[in-house]
Amino acid sequence: MKKFLTLIAVLTLAVLAACGNNGGNSESSSDGEDSKKIVVGASNIPHAEILEKAKPMLEEKGVELEIKTFQDYILPNKTLANGELDANYFQTIPYMELQMEENDNYDFVNAGGIHIEPIGVYSQDYKSLDELPDGAQIIMSNSVSDHGRMLSLLEAQGLITLKEGVKASDATVEDIAENPKNIEFKTDVEASLLPQIYQQGEGDAVMINTNYAIDAGLNPQEDAIALEDSDSPYVNVITVNKGDEDNEAIQALVDVLHSDEIQSFIEEEYDGAVVPVDE
């Protein structure tokens, strides 16, 4: 009986030890330290490409990174909210805040700003905004959170004037005070379809988010007839559920993305179409 009880005790300790070693998302690494796994959702370009570059650097910190790519701006937040992702990397703070206003179950925070993607205006027929004719049509995405930055770009280029007192990030086409060329704005197109709309020659000009422009083979620096300044406040951030911003693996991810190696990669790979930040 004594031997039997001793055996039971040994087995119980073994089970408890096994449970302790495999709790959460940690697993033992070859050097005996715990490694952690995080799953991050991202747009194909440039976000997923930047994360791929960061993968080996994270591995050195004991963090395994799995990247899930998305083609739209809706699913990455839905997937984060339901717990299938630890973070996502595709959106600006104004877009994140708008999504939280529209979805009661979204409670996100910015874990760190990584880069800016200057938005651009593209045209098959005209080489500058000055060449646009009276009554020209400009096609924009249906993402209201982007309208303010798009209209601010057009105002900076002298095409329109916004009403006084209107916050640039909140502006919509209804806030246009002066429109000397009587520009018509089409604002009901899914952002991911804008490159296709441009390539089909629809409208007189199309405003395209840089990630979709690059993904479609466009070079914003060469192909855009007008480009947002690189000091745009629309920083692309690592987004997490509230409370996860202090997670060690998430902090390691942000630190790696802010590293000189990754910021140099962004500058060299995208030649000014994507601008790194450290905030």
36-77 pLDDT, tens digit each: 999 999 999 999 999 999 999 999 999 999 999 999 999 999
SS (H, E, C) 215-242: HCCCCHHHHCCEECCCCCCCEEEEEEEC
Both structure tokens of 260: 């000189």
- Residues 231-250: pLDDT tens digits? 778 899 999 999 999 999 99
pLDDT value of residue 8: 41
pLDDT value of residue 34: 53
- Residue 278 — very low, low, confident or very high, per pLDDT cuts 50/70/90? confident
- Residue 25 — very low, low, confident or very high, per pLDDT cuts 50/70/90? low
Composition of the chain by helix, strand, coil, percent to 5 = 40, 25, 35
pLDDT value of residue 237: 97
d(CA 269, CA 196): 24
* CA distance readout (Å), 22 to 19, 34, 67, 167, 253: 5, 10, 22, 50, 22
- β-pair partners for 121: 207, 226
Task: Count CB atoms within 10 A of the CB of residue 235.
Answer: 19
275-276 and 108-116: which strand pairing? antiparallel
Q: What is the pTM of this model?
A: 0.77
How far is C-alpha 262 from the chain's CA centre?
A: 16
* 5: pLDDT strictly greater than 60: no
* 275: pLDDT strictly greater than 80: yes
d(CA 236, CA 93): 7
Domain pair 39-117+234-276 / 120-227, same fold = yes
Which superfamily, per CATH, for 39-117+234-276? Answer: Periplasmic binding protein-like II (3.40.190.10)
* 3: pLDDT strictly greater than 50: no
pLDDT value of residue 16: 36
Q: 120-227 — its CATH code?
A: 3.40.190.10
Domain ranges for the chain:
39-117+234-276, 120-227
- Residues 97-116: pLDDT tens digits? 999 999 999 999 999 999 99
* Cβ atoms of 47 and 96 closer than 8 Å: no
pLDDT value of residue 35: 61
Nearest-CA neighbor of 218 among 199, 192, 245?
199
Percent of residues, the chain, with pLDDT higher than 70: 87
- β-pair partners for 240: 109
pLDDT value of residue 168: 81
Residue 277 CB contacts under 8 Å (≥ 6 apart), including other chains = 113, 114, 115, 116, 235
